[in-house]
Amino acid sequence: MPNTTTVFLEEHNLDGFLFVGDSICDADMYYLTRFLAGDRFAALAQDGTTILVSSMEAGRARKESTAAKVLSTSEYHLLEKLKSGMAADEAYAQALVQMLRDHSVGRLGVPPSFPAGIFRHLIKYFEVDVLSSPVSRQREIKTDAEVAAIECAQRACERAMRRAVELIGASEPRGGILLRDGEPLTSERVKSAIEISLLEDGCEAEQTIVAGGRQAADPHMTGTGPLEADSPIVIDIFPRSKARRYYADMTRTVLRGEASPEVREMYRAVLLAQDRGLAAVSAGVSGRAVHEQVCQAFSEMGYREREGSGFIHSTGHGVGLQVHEKPSLSEVGGELVAGHVVTVEPGLYYPEIGGVRLEDLAVVAQGGCRNLTRFNRELILNR
Amino acid sequence: MPNTTTVFLEEHNLDGFLFVGDSICDADMYYLTRFLAGDRFAALAQDGTTILVSSMEAGRARKESTAAKVLSTSEYHLLEKLKSGMAADEAYAQALVQMLRDHSVGRLGVPPSFPAGIFRHLIKYFEVDVLSSPVSRQREIKTDAEVAAIECAQRACERAMRRAVELIGASEPRGGILLRDGEPLTSERVKSAIEISLLEDGCEAEQTIVAGGRQAADPHMTGTGPLEADSPIVIDIFPRSKARRYYADMTRTVLRGEASPEVREMYRAVLLAQDRGLAAVSAGVSGRAVHEQVCQAFSEMGYREREGSGFIHSTGHGVGLQVHEKPSLSEVGGELVAGHVVTVEPGLYYPEIGGVRLEDLAVVAQGGCRNLTRFNRELILNR
């Protein structure tokens, strides 16, 4: 870790790279420190990493963080500054100024997400460059341990998907909707089964999608109310391991009842487009080229994007400590590198029909990729 | 909502106040738009609120958001800018510049958390002031609907606490630890019971604390491994309603087995200090005065903070869309106002003994407060 950062600092002629934020929301800060905190702290990357936390967090930080040095805001008299009536951001910036000087910082780098309220104070004391975070760049390429953590979340994702698919498969199509024990089977009920399964596996998920009918025509609509019979149901689960913080991501589309020829054809097209995308993923290939393969596959099968329907999103994205991170498999996707973990998730969306999407997760390798997903792709669920 | 913002804009002679971030991490953005998204978007507060989202999110935003206007980045040709090779932040800033000009913005306000990577571009085109967010200020004072949402999460919190307390109460102290069905009862097992209960109530929780023995001497240590008999166990649960996004927060300390006179005395002191704190909470009183009451209560009972032990944290904090928000009940706490929702959570911590903390949640009112917590305060659990 410090090696990459050290090289970056030398390249940009910087004495340090500073992050300020909380490590629940800022994945770079978690990656750099392995210290999970919902309250703001600072992390200075130099040859080693120094973190500055509140005095109450210092003990925990010393036990849990991988940072070389843990400093407390009390060492920089933050409370006294606040008590003297200084504004919160200024007092915090003053503590940072002292800390940075103690670490011989003259030229400083900060990431684009760095808070403007502190930035405007620091530029009075240091030369500050806003630069793409070297930690984000390092995070893109996963170590074996990181891939293992993602796979662990992916297994949990698959068990949750199994529960959802079984619940829908065991339902009874009647009067246009799905019934379970005589009650309408709702998106909410399926999501609840998914969440309980994830929790049993030490994972959590936000915004899980179980969307049927026309709701699924909008790729991010999470779904609500009774699920329709004879209509595709998109199930998109992206859990995070609570302990290891890595995400997985998978989508399947299922249908209980009778599928129209139109929906069968859509499903087949998405399946073939996904195969084409997965076959294209390889180190040295650009994310753009993979996306173009998928677009071309759809086009060859007669599906063209127009007026907000058809294949209306990109082919995929990186997955790691964030569920959406670089690289991008899209029109602007750069070169893929061995160790990238990416989704391949083509879909088709029509307001009058609904949506079909299939999403697998794969590790980029030399000459191809290793698909981390172990779950069949079947549209129609029969008992 | 727009009224407060409009007044703020006039006071500061601004044409708009701009937020850029995601509304999972940025509570102001969620409050302002009620649009929940993990990907970055922009929100411009003027007389009404305008949001700028990716084209894929535009449909969902129009359905779910309370914003007066939803614009898509495609209207500002973001993709074309990226395809032309422009850096991501610059392309995004250029789209924002156009959007802001279309909304007659010359002088702009941004919050301290605004990303520096975009800030540095915007200052080339506009007069930009970094100012405390008017939305954060508005969020401090809860409406009746917000208090109801917090109470709903608090009821879920209490049901989860009940499960945890029952699990510990039904355990058997043997050989210095607690046994359940012949197996050691662990922090992890109790946390799992808490999380399942919360999930059943539509809530989620991160970093739940179930810490016994010396682990509890560090207020933020979440706890791990077998729970000790005859030793206080701190249980701190701060769930968030998944649908409504509001938090609750409660801590209890329990013990199974025999309590030493020292621990009984600590518990009694924390209980009395909490009562003193709750009695002091009232509109017009400062958070600092409440904290001083609690400190004085401890002092009178012979407990003084020294060398990182004793009462080592502040008395409380605001709770709402964030679990830690303003106001603060601490040495630097300002005036309390009716509608503030705050915790009152004194505690005592000694490395050789462990910790005792009690935390209730209350709404500030004229002449006092309404305690939202309905859970007894008993240290010793007997079957």
Give domain status of residue A383, yes or no.
Answer: no
Q: Choose, out of A25, A81, A82, A119, the residue to mutate when testing the contact with B (most B CBs < 10 Å).
A: A119
- Minimal Cα–Cα distance from B370 to chain A, Å? 27
Contact by Cβ (8 Å): A53, A36? no
d(CA A178, CA A227): 6
pTM: 0.93
Q: Do B134 and B221 fall into the same domain?
A: no
Partners of residue B80 on adjacent β-strands:
none
Q: Do A134 and A207 fall into the same domain?
A: no
Confidence (pLDDT) at A383: 65
Last residue of a domain, one of A139, A159, A181: A139
d(CA B122, CA B113): 15
Q: Do B15 and B101 fall into the same domain?
A: yes
Looking at the structure of chain A, the number of domains it has is: 2
Give domain status of residue B351, yes or no.
Answer: yes
What's the rounded mean pLDDT across residues A272-301? 98
Q: Could you tell me what percent of chain A has a pLDDT over 70? A: 99
Give domain status of residue B377, yes or no.
Answer: no
Say which residue the tokens 């932040």 belong to: B89
Burial A112-145 (b: 16+ CB within 10 A, else e): bbbbbbbbbbbeebbebebbbbbbbebbbbbeee
Residue-range definition of the domain harbouring residue A108:
2-139
Last residue of a domain, one of A109, A139, A169: A139
Give domain status of residue A108, yes or no.
Answer: yes
Q: Do A85 and A164 fall into the same domain?
A: no
Which residue in the set A115, A130, A218 is minimally distant from B59, CB to CB? Answer: A218
d(CA B368, CA B362): 10
Whether A2 shows a pLDDT value over 60: the answer reads no
pLDDT digits 0-9 by tens, B141-168: 999 999 999 999 999 999 999 999 999 9
Query: Is there a contact between B221 and A323 if contact means CB atoms under 8 Å apart?
Result: no
Q: Do A88 and A223 fall into the same domain?
A: no
Whether A5 shows a pLDDT value over 90: the answer reads no
Query: Is there a contact between B312 and A56 if contact means CB atoms under 8 Å apart?
Result: yes
Residues 6+ apart with CB under 8 A from A35: A23, A29, A41, A51, A53, A60, A61, A64, A65, A66, A67
CATH number of the domain that residue B145 is part of: 3.90.230.10
Give domain status of residue A46, yes or no.
Answer: yes
Which residue in the set A59, A110, A324 is minimally distant from B39, CB to CB? Answer: A324
Tell me what ipTM this predicted complex has: 0.91
Average model confidence (pLDDT) for chain A?
95
A362 closest CA partner among A259, A275, A272: A275
Q: Do B16 and B81 fall into the same domain?
A: yes
Residues 8-67 of A with CB under 8 A from B: 24-25, 36-39, 55-57, 59-60, 63
Query: Is there a contact between B196 and A195 if contact means CB atoms under 8 Å apart?
Result: no
Whether A1 shows a pLDDT value over 60: the answer reads no
What's the rounded mean pLDDT across residues A16-26? 97
Q: Do B54 and B194 fall into the same domain?
A: no
Q: Do B135 and B151 fall into the same domain?
A: no
d(CA B283, CA A61): 36
d(CA B199, CA B243): 12
Confidence (pLDDT) at A3: 67
Q: Do B16 and B92 fall into the same domain?
A: yes
Confidence (pLDDT) at B2: 46
d(CA A254, CA A268): 13
Q: Do B166 and B250 fall into the same domain?
A: yes
Give the alpha-carbon dihedral of A305, A308, A309, A314, to 10 degrees.
60
Residues (pLDDT < 70) of chain B are 1-3, 383
Q: Do B119 and B147 fall into the same domain?
A: no
Query: Is there a contact between A117 and B115 if contact means CB atoms under 8 Å apart?
Result: no
- Taking each helix axis from N to C end, the angle separating B287-300 and B261-280, rounded to the nearest 10 degrees, works out to 150
Give chain A positions within 8 Å (CB) of B83.
Answer: 331-332
Last residue of a domain, one of B121, B139, B157: B139
CATH number of the domain that residue B21 is part of: 3.40.350.10
A–B interface: beta-carbon pairs under 8 A: 114
Q: Do B133 and B147 fall into the same domain?
A: no
d(CA A44, CA A76): 15
Give chain A positions within 8 Å (CB) of B114.
Answer: 115-117
pLDDT category at A192 given cuts 50, 70, 90 is very high
Confidence (pLDDT) at B3: 67
